[in-house]
Structure 1
Amino acid sequence: MTSFLRSDRSKPVAVWLLVVAAFVLAMVIVGGATRLTDSGLSITEWKPVTGAIPPMSDQAWQAEFAKYREIPQYQQVNRGMTLAQFQSIYWWEWAHRFLGRLTGLVFFAPFVWFAVRREIPKRLTWRLVGIFVLGALQGAVGWWMVASGLSERVSVAPERLMAHLGLAFALLALLVWTALDAWAGGARQTLPSPWGRRAAWLLALIYFQILLGALVAGNDAGLLYNDWPMMGGRLVPEDYAATTLWGTLAHSQGAVQLHHRLIAYLVTGVAIAIGVSAWRSNYLHRESKLLGVAVAGVVTVQALLGVATLMLRAPLGLSIAHQLAAALVLALATAFAWRTRRI
């Protein structure tokens, strides 16, 4: 019996995965601040190993600044920027990339340690390998995103920002789910229940809303139509439609903001309905009920934060709080979906 339990669950592994999830959350927050301060294009090369060392001399700083002066963002937006001003945005991007490297190390080193000691539950081994591959892919996706703003654009492509942020939030959800699996062990019994499907659909809807939020951020769409609930005094913004369907869905500032608003209303209504229903359910355990109510509460707070952020034209502090709340919503919804599958 003891050997079965040792192979089926591991609380140290669960704690480690939650620590990695915290690092991913920090990456999301620093990445958001990097975007909001227009710092993401300050490092124009991808050097996974040597790039961990920042410029250490005046000559090295001048070399980095010279590379930045060659891209459209400097030439069209920041022409005349001083070296000191360049350094202020450079450090944001460097910190974001360094934190990414550190997150990889925080995952990989304990993974090897636990694997050598055979403390990783066997059913989770390949899932953890997959998470590591996705984490490594995230670095490549990040560079793919940055590269879109180095030649013809003055900012990164919104759809590439969506892919980069979407992968980060997917990793966060996978880490939380796997940590819960490691802590509790494999489910001994699952019973047919509509709650698992409801929670899964809510989780998918929340994730979709996060992707729409990334398009809003990528298009700087939060800087216009700052009235609410109308948009420029209209239900549908005047510049909603672009010349193509993809242009409307991914590049129209009015369209991406309207879509983000509409799905926010849907997510809020669905989350509150599920939270109330979960609390009244005679089928769910107390933990599931509390998680359902918590998701509804945090979604409501997030919706209010979103309105405030919009109406105040996306100040740095509120924007970061809005992104942090999105991560909390996703983590709670992940825990709720996990728990309802183990009734």
Structure 2
Amino acid sequence: MATKRSIFEDVGTNEKPKETPKGGLIEKGRGGARKGIRAWLIVIFALVMAMIAVGGLTRLTDSGLSITEWKPVMGALPPMTAADWQVAFEKYQQTPEYRLQNEGMTLSEFKPLFLWEWGHRNLGRVIGLVWFLGYVRFAVAKKIPTGWHKRLIFIGALGGLQGAIGWWMVSSGLTGDRLDVASYRLAIHLGLAFIILGFIAWYVFLLGRTEPELMQARRAKDAKLFGMSTGMLHFAFLQILLGALVAGIDAGRGYTDWPLMGGQVLPPDPFYIEPLWRNFFENPALVQFLHRMAGYLLFIYGIVTWLKGRKSANRATASAFTLMAAVLFLQVILGITTLVHGAPLALGLAHQVGAVALFVAISRARFLSQYPQPQSVRSV
């Protein structure tokens, strides 16, 4: 017969308490592997951004064709002796740029050009090394979250492809009668750099929250805003490609009056090159005109997107679109200022860095459209 138990007696005191399941490192909020990988990607992002800036300086200083060989490993060291410098200079003297533009240049004048391009290439090597060491470290420690191996390898693969495209671009200016690299190859090279930046930024945003938080946030996705910001991102990317074409043929220095070009809306002789399609890549007047028109349209579309985004019920999302609009406005002002001053080195570089800031601002607004930040009812 069962004995009576006091109502004050603890129940189940002899049973072992069940252990609370412990999540892995990838589920510890912002800590663990997600935090470490996020920090690593931020470092790579900063390096790629610096690479774009150095690449812009290399182009603006006409240094890109100073190294006539592609040696991914042995090229990490600059010429070490006077004889080595002389050999590098003699190879440069065989290029069209030297024969048609820089004939008579001295070795002392050549060295700064060489070192700019050497620094640009070495920074690329540093980026590759940082990616490789970081990936191996996290992979060996088994701290890469589920589903992230392919994403991180994808970033490394894009970086390797970028190196090959860089040489493909440089090689276009080493033969024939070109004074510079092919502008469309320069556009592809810069475009891929922004694609890499875009993916890294998106991954950084994703790693800022746990997977459960992202799944919860996606339920509140603003599909309309996400679509508009996606269009904004693609439009900005097109404008960046047009900007690369402008830089590739020095089209920004041909017409420095604004808002007209040579006193008229459409510049003189916009289609003088045959066949017709070459004008869209090699005619400085037409390329600058297209860059201007695309800038106006991007600004208008950006304002429309901002007017929609600022009405978002989520305050963080609305603020992100306001920031995007502010960066867009500053970039337009900077672009006009760069133009009317004939694209000097400092302004040209600032305009290129401004494009990076705008691209990231749009990406952030787009991310928060898909994954709104949680907010209390009082903050609405």
Normalised TM-score (structure 1)? 0.96
* Equivalent in the alignment of 2:319: 290
Q: Is residue 336 of structure 2 the alignment partner of residue 316 of structure 1?
A: no
Q: Is residue 188 of structure 2 the alignment partner of residue 158 of structure 1?
A: no
* Equivalent in the alignment of 1:300: 329
* Alpha-carbon distance between aligned partners in 1 of 2:143 and 2:270, rounded to the nearest angstrom: 54
Structure 1 pair 25–220 and aligned structure 2 pair: CA distance change class (3 A): same
* Alpha-carbon distance between aligned partners in 2 of 1:200 and 1:111, rounded to the nearest angstrom: 29
* Alpha-carbon distance between aligned partners in 2 of 1:181 and 1:223, rounded to the nearest angstrom: 41
* Alpha-carbon distance between aligned partners in 1 of 2:54 and 2:107, rounded to the nearest angstrom: 22
* Alpha-carbon distance between aligned partners in 2 of 1:234 and 1:211, rounded to the nearest angstrom: 25
* Equivalent in the alignment of 2:83: 59
Amino-acid identity (%): 42
* Equivalent in the alignment of 2:61: 37
* Alpha-carbon distance between aligned partners in 1 of 2:53 and 2:270, rounded to the nearest angstrom: 30
Which amino acid in 2 is paired with 1:160?
R
* Equivalent in the alignment of 2:93: 69
Q: Is residue 204 of structure 2 the alignment partner of residue 179 of structure 1?
A: yes
Give 1:6's match in structure 2, choosing from 7, 26, 39.
26
* Alpha-carbon distance between aligned partners in 1 of 2:258 and 2:68, rounded to the nearest angstrom: 38
Does the Cα contact within 8 Å between 1:6 and 1:119 map onto a contact in 2?
yes
Residue 273 (structure 1) shift: 2.3
Give 2:152's match in structure 1, choosing from 128, 135, 148.
128
* Equivalent in the alignment of 1:78: 102
Structure 1 pair 56–272 and aligned structure 2 pair: CA distance change class (3 A): same
Residue 271 (structure 1) shift: 1.5
Q: Which has the higher helix share?
A: 1
* Equivalent in the alignment of 2:309: 278
Does the Cα contact within 8 Å between 2:25 and 2:143 map onto a contact in 1?
no
* Alpha-carbon distance between aligned partners in 1 of 2:276 and 2:315, rounded to the nearest angstrom: 46
Does the Cα contact within 8 Å between 1:124 and 1:178 map onto a contact in 2?
no
* Equivalent in the alignment of 2:375: none
* Equivalent in the alignment of 1:198: 228
Structure 1 pair 224–123 and aligned structure 2 pair: CA distance change class (3 A): same
Does the Cα contact within 8 Å between 2:41 and 2:200 map onto a contact in 1?
yes
Residue 125 (structure 1) shift: 1.4
Q: Is residue 279 of structure 2 the alignment partner of residue 248 of structure 1?
A: yes
* Equivalent in the alignment of 2:6: none
* Alpha-carbon distance between aligned partners in 2 of 1:225 and 1:277, rounded to the nearest angstrom: 35
Residue 244 (structure 1) shift: 2.6
Residue 2 (structure 1) shift: 4.4
Residue deviations 1:207-253, cap 9 Å, x none? 11101100111111001111000000110011211323421221111
* Equivalent in the alignment of 1:334: 363
* Alpha-carbon distance between aligned partners in 2 of 1:2 and 1:39, rounded to the nearest angstrom: 56
Residue 7 (structure 1) shift: 5.5
Does the Cα contact within 8 Å between 1:275 and 1:293 map onto a contact in 2?
yes
Mark the runs of 5 or more structure 1 residues left unpaired by the alignment.
Answer: none
Give 1:260's match in structure 2, choosing from 291, 300, 305.
291
* Equivalent in the alignment of 1:24: 48
* Equivalent in the alignment of 1:113: 137
Residue 5 (structure 1) shift: 6.0
Residue 185 (structure 1) shift: 3.1
Does the Cα contact within 8 Å between 1:7 and 1:120 map onto a contact in 2?
no
Give 1:188's match in structure 2, choosing from 215, 220, 223.
215
Structure 1 pair 303–2 and aligned structure 2 pair: CA distance change class (3 A): farther
* Alpha-carbon distance between aligned partners in 2 of 1:262 and 1:200, rounded to the nearest angstrom: 20
* Alpha-carbon distance between aligned partners in 1 of 2:299 and 2:81, rounded to the nearest angstrom: 51
* Alpha-carbon distance between aligned partners in 1 of 2:317 and 2:35, rounded to the nearest angstrom: 21
* Alpha-carbon distance between aligned partners in 1 of 2:282 and 2:181, rounded to the nearest angstrom: 12
Mark the runs of 5 or more structure 2 residues left unpaired by the alignment.
Answer: 1-20, 373-380
Give 1:228's match in structure 2, choosing from 233, 258, 268.
258
Which amino acid in 2 is paired with 1:323?
Q
* Equivalent in the alignment of 1:168: 193
Count of aligned pairs: 341
Normalised TM-score (structure 2)? 0.87
* Alpha-carbon distance between aligned partners in 2 of 1:320 and 1:272, rounded to the nearest angstrom: 25
Q: Secondary structure at the match of 2:147?
A: helix
Does the Cα contact within 8 Å between 1:221 and 1:256 map onto a contact in 2?
yes
* Alpha-carbon distance between aligned partners in 2 of 1:111 and 1:62, rounded to the nearest angstrom: 40
* Alpha-carbon distance between aligned partners in 2 of 1:264 and 1:39, rounded to the nearest angstrom: 28
